[in-house]
Structure 1
Amino acid sequence: MGPAPSLLAISDLHVRYAENRRLVEGLRPRSSGDWLLVAGDVGEYVADVAWALRLLSARFAKVVWTPGNHELWTPPDDPVCLRGQARYEHLVTLCRDLGVTTPEDPYPLWDGPGGPVTIAPLFLLYDYTFRPDGTFTKEAALARAYDVGVVCSDEFLLHPDPYPTRDAWCHARVRQTVTRLAAVADGPPTVLVNHYPLVRDPTRVLRHPEFALWCGTDLTADWHRRFHAAAAVYGHLHIPRTTVHDGVPFEEVSVGYPREWRPRGSQPGYRQILPPAQPTRSR
C-alpha cells in the first residue's frame, strides 16, 4: 500500500525564470491521490500558464487554480492580447480544457485524510483598503506609494476592462463569491484558496508597507470565520510561512523569484495543507 493522499498547495511559480521552470518540472506527487492547489502567479504569459498547468494536471489527481495578478497582466509582447475580464475568461477556458478546477467551477470536495472539506478557489483582487498608516483614502495611499517609489506593476499591466477600476472589479468579485460561499456554508468546513491574504495582518511584515495596497481587501477580514475555514491558502507576498488567525491556519505557499528563495539554502516546494502537518496555535 502506498502513502495516503494529501492536499498540497503552492503559488507564485513565476515560470518565466529558468530556475523556477526547473522547479516546476521537478514537482511530483507523493501519492497517486494527491491534490495540488495553485494559488496564482504561475506566469504572465498565457503560454507559460498553459505549460505549467498542463504538466501539473498530468501528474496530480486534481489541480485547483486561482489567478494571481501576474496571470491577469497583459504584457505587450504576449501573443494573447486580451485584457481584464476577457483575459480571465480565456484562462478559465484553458484550465477547463486541461481538467483544472477554477473559481468558476463547482467547488470540489476533498474527502481524503483531514476531510471532508470544500475546496473554494477564490478570485477577488484588491481594493486599496490595506493602506499605509496615516492615509485614509485610496487617493492619499496611492500618492504615498508613488512618492516613495513603491508602485505595483499592476497599475500599468493589469487592466480591469470592462470595469472602470481594479477596485470596482474587486467589489464585483466579492459580491459574486459571497453568494457562492453562502450556498455551501451549511456543508463541510472550507479550505479558502486565494492569491491574496484574506486578512491584512500578514502584510505587516512587508519591507515596504506601501505595497500592501495591492495585497487584498478589508471586505474578506472575517471570511475564515464566516465560512468555517479549516485553512486559508494564499501567496503573493513571497514570504512563505504559517500564521494562525482565530484558530485557522493561514498558509503562505509562494515559491517567489530565484533571488528570494536561493538565499534560504533549499529549493522551495509545495506545502501540505491536509492532513495538518503539525498542530496549529492560535494568536
Structure 2
Amino acid sequence: MKLYAISDLHLRHKENHEALAALAPRPDDWLIVGGDVGETLADMELMLSTLTARFRQVVWVPGNHELWTMPSEKPPLKGEARYLRMVDLCHRYGALTPEDPYPRWPGEGPPRVIVPMFLGYDYTFRPDTVPADKALEWAWEDDLMCTDEVLLHPEPYPTRQAWCHARVERTRARLERLPPECSTILINHYPLRYEHVRLPRIPRFSIWCGTRLTEDWHTRYRAEVVVTGHLHMPSTLWRDGVRFEEVSLGYPMQWRHRGGLERCLREVLPGPRTPSPAP
C-alpha cells in the first residue's frame, strides 16, 4: 500500500485532460491531489470521478485556481462559499478534504496522521526590506500581477490576508490536538517555508506563495513529509530531517519532457527515508 501525490493538474488544458484519462488504476493506494485541479466545478468533478474510481482514497486540498470566481459559472460563488461547494463535491465522491477529521495512515510503518490543510497566503513571502503595505507594488515593479487579485475573493473575510490568518489559526488548533506519538504528513497547496519558493524567472511572485506563519510547522508538528504544489517545479528537498515534496504536474510545456502524468506521480509513502548521498 502506497501514498502518492500530484498537484496542479490544470485540466482546462487538453493534454492534461488526456493524461488524467490515461492514468493507470492503483486500487490499493491513496492519492493526494494538492490543488489547482482547474477553474470550474466541471474540472473538479472530472478529477473526482476519475481518480476516486482508480485509487482506494483521494485526499484533496484547494489551490488558488479552484477558488476563482468564474463569470461563466452560475451562480458565481465567491470566497468561502465557493470553497465549501468544492468540499461538498468531494464528499459526494468520498474524497477527504481539510474539513474532515485527519485520518490515520492505514499502511505499514509507525503511527502517522494525514493532514490536508487549506491555509492561503498573506503576502509575507518577501524580503524583510519590503514593507507590508508595499508588497504588491514590489511585485508590480517586475510587471507581475496574479490573477487572484481579480478572481479570488475572500468573502466573508475583508481581505485574503484575513482569510489566510483565520485558516492558519483554525488549523494550528487542530494540529495542537494531535496525539503526540504520531508523526504527520502535512499537505498544503502552498509551500510552508519562504526558502522553498524558488522561482528564478519570476522571484517576486513569491508574495502569492504562502505565509511565514508556517515556517516551523514541519518541526513543531512532527512532520515526516510535507507535500506541496503551486510552483510547477517538482523537487525533493530536505530540512531538519524532514522531506519536502513539491508535486506539481503543471502546464503541458512544463511536464511533457518528464514523460506524462504516470511518471509525474510522486511516491510519498513509503518513499525515501533519508536524503540521497551527494555524487
The answer for the alignment partner of 2:22 in structure 1 is 26
* CA–CA distance in structure 2, aligned partners of residues 218 and 197 of structure 1: 10
1:74-93 to 2 correspondences below 5 Å: 74-93=69-88
Q: 1:210 aligns with which of 181, 204, 213?
A: 204
* CA–CA distance in structure 2, aligned partners of residues 104 and 231 of structure 1: 20
When the two structures are superposed, what TM-score results if normalisation uses the length of structure 1?
0.93
* CA–CA distance in structure 2, aligned partners of residues 17 and 235 of structure 1: 18
The answer for the alignment partner of 2:246 in structure 1 is 252
Residue 111 (structure 1) shift: 2.5
Q: What percent identity do the matched residue pairs reach?
A: 52
Q: Secondary structure at the match of 1:33?
A: strand
The answer for the alignment partner of 2:121 in structure 1 is 126
The answer for the alignment partner of 1:272 in structure 2 is 267
The question of whether the paired residues in 2 share the 8 Å contact of 1:84 and 1:160 is answered with yes
The answer for the alignment partner of 1:35 in structure 2 is 30
Decide whether aligned partners of structure 1 residues 169 and 277 sit closer, same or farther in structure 2, where only a CA change above 3 A counts: same
Decide whether aligned partners of structure 1 residues 186 and 142 sit closer, same or farther in structure 2, where only a CA change above 3 A counts: same
Give CA-to-partner distance per residue, 1:75-115, whole Å, 9 cap, x none: 11123410000001111111111100000001111121344
* CA–CA distance in structure 2, aligned partners of residues 177 and 96 of structure 1: 20
Structure 2: 5+ residue runs without aligned partners?
none
The question of whether the paired residues in 2 share the 8 Å contact of 1:14 and 1:41 is answered with yes
AA partner of residue 212 (structure 2): D
Worse overlay, 139-148 or 9-18: 139-148
AA partner of residue 25 (structure 1): A
The answer for the alignment partner of 2:193 in structure 1 is 199
* CA–CA distance in structure 2, aligned partners of residues 35 and 58 of structure 1: 11
Residue 148 (structure 1) shift: 1.8
1:161-180 to 2 correspondences below 5 Å: 161-180=155-174
Structure 1: 5+ residue runs without aligned partners?
none
* CA–CA distance in structure 2, aligned partners of residues 150 and 170 of structure 1: 21
Residue 132 (structure 1) shift: 4.2
The question of whether the paired residues in 2 share the 8 Å contact of 1:145 and 1:151 is answered with yes
